Amino acid sequence: MTDNKPNEKQAESLIEHHLLKHKFKVAKPSFDQHGADLLILDGIEQKNTRFLKIQSKLRTISNKGNSLVDIQQEYVTDNFVLFLYVNREEEDERLYVFFKEDIETWRVRKGAFWLTISERVISGLGKNIFNRETAREINVRLMRQDIKPYTSIIIDGIFLEKAIHDTKSLYAEIWPEKEFKEPKLKNVVKNLLRYNQFDAPNKTVKCILFLSKHHSLQTSVILPKHLGINSGDDEVEFTIQQSDKIIGFQVLEQLERIVNAENVLLVADDVLYQDKLKELAAKGVDLILIKQKVAEGSRMYTSFRYGDIAYPLGRSIGLKGYEL
């Protein structure tokens, strides 16, 4: 099998050059964006910006030989753009652009879209040539991408209970004379939101806490007496759901329901979430995970940005920054 990696790296450099020439803001993904070699950004702000995922490919053809291009179906979303550099023996090299609706006309095989690249095929791809017109179309599509207006923090109550217990045990060894405070949920959430890197237009954060009737988070954290909107300075709207069903499945259901419409911070740490998070990463979804460090017992590996839960919980039980 031919190793296309050198070609893909060459294509990436060539395509970045052309994008910069047309005044696009280009960046390498700061986290694993499956299917994306580059990002076209609306602005330089990393917290709140529209973006397009760019995959780059280079193929060489001749009058006697063809080549193939394949794209995983799961990569092809509304914000996905394929750039294809074609080298030809007797003609100038040329750059082509394919949007979602173009790629979806290719043949499908084994979960991927396939296109044969030949002299005959590229003779019909005039509308896909990268030029001023297609550059304007890219900009139009960039402006269509929605900035998510809301932010939610989803909490697995079983994990939170365990994390509070582990955090107290950890710092009891470091500060044996210290008397820890009983944390309030609103203070826990406030400290967890230190990891919030989303800058949503609506500043109210929705907190969804899933409690298990078979566990006792209520003995580890003080819950609000009146659930619903907390109208104080914290600007957090609490929803607490208690169930005797498997909490992880309910968390996943909530995550799947809102992740495409809202910014999400997920407070969870269980291998149950592994496959869904991998699937979301492959689709280019962004979220922030708050979990334990691997060194402290986490069994969940992720390509998403994440924060260590011990720090915000340490602040919630009364420790100062220098004590953590």
Specify whether 93 is located in the same domain as 22. yes
Q: How many CB atoms neighbour CB 38 within 10 A? A: 23
Q: How many CB atoms neighbour CB 236 within 10 A? A: 20
- Segment 121-150 shows an average pLDDT of 89
- Of 144, 159, 190, the position where a domain reaches its end is 144
pLDDT, one tens digit per residue, over 8-34 is: 778 888 899 999 999 998 887 644 455
Q: Are 304 and 287 in contact (CB under 8 A)?
A: yes
Q: Which domain holds residue 52?
A: 5-144
Specify whether 130 is located in the same domain as 162. no
Specify whether 316 is located in the same domain as 178. yes
Specify whether 229 is located in the same domain as 267. yes
Number of domains in the chain: 2
- Of 144, 173, 195, the position where a domain reaches its end is 144
User: Quick check: 316 pLDDT over 80?
Assistant: yes
In the chain, the amino acid numbered 48 is N
Q: How many CB atoms neighbour CB 146 within 10 A? A: 10
Specify whether 17 is located in the same domain as 56. yes
Determine the 3-state secondary structure of 55 from DSSP.
strand
pLDDT band at 39 (very low <50, low <70, confident <90, very high): confident
Specify whether 163 is located in the same domain as 289. yes
When mean pLDDT is compared across 104-113, 145-154, 181-190, 270-279, the lowest value belongs to 145-154
Backbone angles phi, psi at 140, to 5 degrees: -60, -45
Specify whether 156 is located in the same domain as 140. no
Q: Residue 208 belongs to a domain with what CATH number?
A: 3.40.50
Question: In Å, how far from its chain's centre is CA 4?
Answer: 27
- Of 115, 144, 173, the position where a domain reaches its end is 144
Specify whether 192 is located in the same domain as 72. no
DSSP for 226-285, written as a single string: S-EEE-STT-EEEEEEEESS-HHHHHHHHHHHHTTTSEEEEE---GGGHHHHHHHHHTT-
pLDDT band at 262 (very low <50, low <70, confident <90, very high): confident
Q: Nearest CA to 112 among 168, 174, 63, 69?
A: 69
Specify whether 140 is located in the same domain as 155. no
Q: How many CB atoms neighbour CB 28 within 10 A? A: 11
Specify whether 280 is located in the same domain as 311. yes
Beta strands in 23-140, from DSSP E residues, in sequence order: 25-27, 38-41, 51-61, 67-72, 80-88, 94-98, 107-109, 112-117
43: exposed, middle or buried (Cβ count in 10 Å: 0-12, 13-18, 19+): exposed
Specify whether 78 is located in the same domain as 171. no
